[in-house]
Amino acid sequence: MFRRKLLALDYSSPDSFNVSDEKKCRNIIIWLEDQKIRHYKIEDRVGLRNVDSADWKKHFEAYLGQLQCPYKSEDMTAVIDWLLGYAVRLEYGDGVDKYKGASPASAQSCTGKPAQVSSNPLDNLDFDDPDFKAGVASLAQMLQVPPHSDHTEVLKAVCLLVKEKLSKEAIEKAQSETGKAEHIPLEKTDLGFEAGDYIINDAAKIVRLLHIKDLRDLQTDINAAIVAVQALTANPKTDSRLGKVGR
């Protein structure tokens, strides 16, 4: 999930970075501060540079506070992703004219690989742009999709939800079943016991209603099977050539 940002920042070994390796995380943090972010003066970076020190975490938390990072140092995945995104924004700000002139041809000259030209307008989006991230977050909040440190994972979840719930087929199916659906207000549902917490009570009510729905669906299937069997046994056909009654 970090490779694209590391490549954009010209990190020497983007494929070898492992967020589970604490030593590598500390090294990349001081690399970002030295090479890209440069929030501290050089002499003030000693605490971050001493990655083997027992006090390193204290200096790191102070550093995150200075940058106003919204994540805590314990969530290293989210913190690294945020720092990389912040560094990318600073890098872009330092060379706006340079990046505005970027094209598939210039990308090919830099990488030595043929540039892939796509007719899909989505391929031209900057998925690391702050406005894009904010749009994904707003859409996820609107659709009640749980948050994630990687906004691309949130976008995948949004796409799945839209495909399953908001596609033309899903909407038509929901409209056809609207008349059949029975709406039961949750606050009027009797749970039969008290769990001592209103959130747990509501969750238990939902589970109970789902269970009742499953039982009703099962009963409907059983009734349909009984009707089908009765149709076979109550109206037999006579085959005089076989000298017997029945199918």
Classify residue 63 by burial, with Cβ atoms within 10 Å: 0-12, 13-18, 19+. buried
Compute φ and ψ for 112, nearest 5 degrees.
80, 5
Mean pLDDT computed over 212-218: 81
For 84, the token pair is: 């990389």
For 131, the token pair is: 């406005």
Distance of CA 63 to the CA centre of its chain: 28
Residue 245 has pLDDT above 60, yes or no: no
| 174-188 pLDDT tens trace | 767 655 556 666 666
Residue 49 has pLDDT above 50, yes or no: yes
pTM of the model: 0.42
Cα 76-79-84 angle, rounded to 5 deg: 125
For 179, the token pair is: 């008349």
52: amino acid identity, one letter: D
Confidence grade of residue 104 (pLDDT, cut at 50, 70, 90): low
Q: What is the DSSP letter of 68?
A: T
Q: What is the pLDDT of residue 152?
A: 83
| 126-150 pLDDT tens trace | 777 777 787 888 888 887 788 777 8
Give which of 182, 164, 185 is closest to 173, Cα–Cα. Answer: 164
Compute φ and ψ for 138, nearest 5 degrees.
-65, -40
The lowest-confidence range among 21-25, 101-105, 135-139, 142-146 is: 101-105
